[in-house]
């Protein structure tokens, strides 16, 4: 049960640092409708974003009854965990149409955005071996005729379905296709690297470590896949689709995800 006397405190404007946090959490556009936060009016840039309370800081008597048993985040209403950046329209709609359903949606949205940002920061400092970049780059330029000549993985060697459950079916099918097409090629590329220049085991350990950090942070499989892809992209500067194929390689190679319990 929410303790309104301790949780709801006077409104406090965000500090500049908190403002960056709110913008970064939602990639600088409204997480409800996608509206950009940097807008122009009469040729001038104006702020298109407002910082909203997920749980109201001064609830009306009706809101106190409606929201008395919901989940809250942070120590009080001014905690950054209880605030989210929204466009003006979505902020107004949320404040004017409060319901338990809308509240729970906003609560989950904020939690997911915050978790994703924390995950991104968690692995941001971890480096990726330059050899991975070289191979990801190769994936980006390989021609159709070269692909046709590649040795493909046998379908019965696929391990992806043993690690990804049905609720991620679309992602699983895509990973399986990428693994069937590229797994053998990528493995060959790694084994063709000059002897002594690179340790596959060390690299695999580092990838596994990054995966475990994300898993232990509570991210689901889809979020983990997305964070790993974005991490590869940021660190290597390579094409995002090629980075995705490399993440799929590590799913098949067992660094990412565990086998499902039967």
Contact positions toward Zn ion, by CB under 5 A?
30, 32-33, 35, 87, 90
> What counts of helices (H) and strands (E) characterise the chain?
11, 4
Comparison of 39 and 81: residue with beta carbon closer to Zn ion: 39
Query: Please, what sign has the CA dihedral across residues 81, 109, 224, 16?
Result: negative
Q: How far is the CB of 29 from Zn ion (least distance, A)?
A: 8
Decide whether 48 or 224 has the Cβ nearer to Zn ion: 48
Closest distance of CB 32 from Zn ion, Å: 4
Closer to Zn ion by Cβ: residue 86 or 256: 86
CB of 37 to Zn ion, least distance (A): 10
* Closer by beta carbon to Zn ion, 35 or else 112: 35
Residue whose CB is less far from Zn ion, 33 or 212: 33
53: CB partners within 8 A, 6+ apart? 77, 82, 83
In the complex, the smallest distance separating the C-beta of residue 233 from Zn ion, rounded to whole angstroms, is 26
Torsion of CA 191, 196, 201, 202, to 10 degrees: -130
DSSP letters for 110-158 = HHHHHHHHHHHHHHHT----HHHHHHHHHHHH--HHHHHHSPPPPGGG-
CB 122, CB 213: distance < 8 Å: yes
Residue 109 CB, nearest approach to Zn ion (Å):
11
């Amino acid at each position: 049960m929410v303790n309104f006397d301790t949780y709801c405190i006077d409104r406090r404007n965000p500090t500049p640092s908190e403002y960056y946090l709110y913008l970064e959490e939602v990639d600088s556009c409204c997480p409800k409708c996608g509206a950009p936060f940097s807008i122009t009016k009469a040729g001038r840039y104006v702020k298109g974003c407002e910082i909203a309370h997920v749980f109201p800081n001064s609830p009306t008597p009706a809101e106190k009854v409606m929201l008395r048993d919901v989940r809250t985040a942070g120590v009080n209403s001014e905690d950054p965990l209880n605030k989210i950046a929204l466009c003006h329209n979505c902020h107004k709609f949320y404040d004017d149409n409060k319901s338990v359903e809308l509240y729970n949606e906003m609560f989950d949205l904020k939690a997911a955005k915050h978790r994703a940002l924390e995950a991104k920061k968690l692995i941001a400092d971890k480096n990726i071996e330059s050899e991975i970049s070289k191979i990801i780059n190769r994936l980006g330029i390989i021609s159709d005729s070269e692909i046709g000549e590649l040795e493909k993985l046998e379908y019965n060697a696929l391990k992806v379905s043993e690690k990804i459950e049905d609720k991620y079916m679309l992602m699983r099918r895509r990973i399986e296709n990428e693994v069937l097409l590229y797994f053998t090629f990528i493995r060959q590329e790694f084994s063709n690297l000059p002897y002594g220049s690179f340790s596959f085991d060390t690299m695999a350990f580092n990838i596994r470590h990054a995966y475990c950090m994300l898993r232990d942070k509570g991210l689901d499989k889809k979020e983990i896949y997305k964070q790993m892809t974005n991490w590869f992209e940021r660190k290597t500067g390579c094409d995002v689709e090629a980075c995705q194929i490399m993440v799929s390689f590590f799913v098949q190679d067992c660094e990412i995800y565990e086998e499902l319990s039967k």
